[in-house]
Chains A and B, each alone.
Chain A
């Protein structure tokens, strides 16, 4: 696969290195000469250019890329690059880094973004997951924001202990995908009983989350 990464800072370079290790072709586009440390990722094609300039992207042949990753530390740049990649070069998949969570709402298909990755939000979710018991924790948003991977840790004294999975009156557009218990990954069958301390993983549409929460309280 051919991947173009805008921004050759620490994030861009580490993405590049990982992709190269998996035998993909990587192009790193960086505007700042001082950041053009080509030795750090020798196997990548380095392009010294402003990724927001249509001319530069044309020269770099962006239309030949399967994926574009907007990985700079500037949300504005990431938005403009994503939009250009999608609308001018018809790149199949565009991933963008979100630096400031306040801007997250912009990173949608309207700006050409297929996948938005917000580090602060992911970190917060991971912390939340570690500390909250009994609450729904949204770990990840999938498929362009229409569904999420949600985790719930059942308290030790949960009223659901001993009850079978089919007891859960789940809304449509929600699925119980896995139960994590004592280091085991259990694919739940309708008759399997739940236990206190179980971590339940659901994939659910965002708008049915309140119904999911209600189902777990019954």
Chain B
């Protein structure tokens, strides 16, 4: 659902990979974004309307992508595809991060446009050591490389986790990945990658840049 820039790109891309694709959009001129060699079904209509979806072939569909410009439309269409038509793989795009909780509750996988874009900018604008290495598509959790204050050497991973509120996902030590077990002690030149919940990244980074708390 949705033949905007993302929707049309997705449609053409999927077809090139050999899949059978149908696209639904409210506006007939949206389909102009599709390439001339696209030969999937193009249906004009509202993406959560029963008759429109059936016309687009949802009854035999293996997957459904809701990429319209409206978060609510995407929520409703995604749920209808899954609950009413039994489509197994359903993914929705969301613009407004505050809607993320709703999608999450409904168990609909999402791609959150804004956090992803923000992240990419941050990674390209900021100096090393202060950006996320990976962010989950829902935009709610990230893995970041964590520069440490030198006094952390010799302290345990568990200490670091307690001080920052993050979880150490893995450490790259002398070019090899290490999965810590909490008791591991941090060594000089360790590249520490921590998992943190969105919104805490700054606090986590700041805590790691401080010397360990005196306990």
Contacts and interface: CB of A to CB of B under 8 A. Distances in A.
A76 B50 contact: no
Nearest to B83: A110
Interface in A82-113: 83-84, 87-88, 102-103, 105-106, 110
Contacts of A36: none
Contacts of A41: none
A52 B97 CA distance: 12
B98 A106 contact: no
Nearest to B72: A76
A202 to B, nearest CB: 29
Contacts of A83: 106
Contacts of B96: 53
A80 B70 CA distance: 13
Interface stretch (B11-19, B27-35, B73-81, B112-120): B73-81
B99 interface: yes
A80 B75 contact: yes
B72 A77 contact: yes
B188 interface: no
Contact of A106 (B73, B80, B102, B105): B80
B101 interface: yes
A52 B99 contact: yes
B48 interface: yes
A54 B106 CA distance: 12
Contacts of B80: 106
B189 interface: no
Contact of B98 (A55, A84, A87): A55
B49 interface: yes
A52 B50 contact: no
Contact of A79 (B50, B76, B99): B76
Main secondary structure of the interface of B (DSSP, over half): helix
Contact of A55 (B72, B76, B101, B106): B101
Nearest to A77: B72
A88 B105 contact: yes
Contacts of B102: 52, 54, 80, 84
B73 A76 contact: yes
A80 B72 contact: yes
Contact of A76 (B76, B83, B101): B76
Contacts of A53: 96, 98-99
A55 B96 CA distance: 13
A106 B76 contact: yes
B98 A76 contact: no
Contacts of B105: 54, 87-88
A103 B76 CA distance: 11
A50 interface: yes
B49 A102 contact: yes
Nearest to A53: B98
A13 B63 CA distance: 42
Interface in B89-134: 96, 98-99, 101-102, 105-106
18 contacts: A53-B98, A54-B102, A55-B101, A76-B70, A76-B75, A76-B76, A79-B76, A80-B72, A80-B102, A83-B106, A84-B102, A88-B105, A102-B46, A103-B49, A105-B50, A106-B48, A106-B76, A110-B83
Leading 10 A-B pairs by shortest Cβ distance: A76-B72, A54-B101, A53-B98, A80-B72, A76-B76, A79-B76, A76-B73, A54-B102, A80-B75, A55-B98
Interface of A: 50, 52-55, 74, 76-77, 79-80, 83-84, 87-88, 102-103, 105-106, 110
Given A52-B71, A76-B76, A102-B46, 16 more contacts: A52-B99, A52-B102, A54-B98, A54-B101, A54-B105, A55-B98, A55-B101, A74-B72, A79-B76, A80-B72, A80-B75, A84-B102, A87-B105, A88-B105, A106-B48, A106-B80
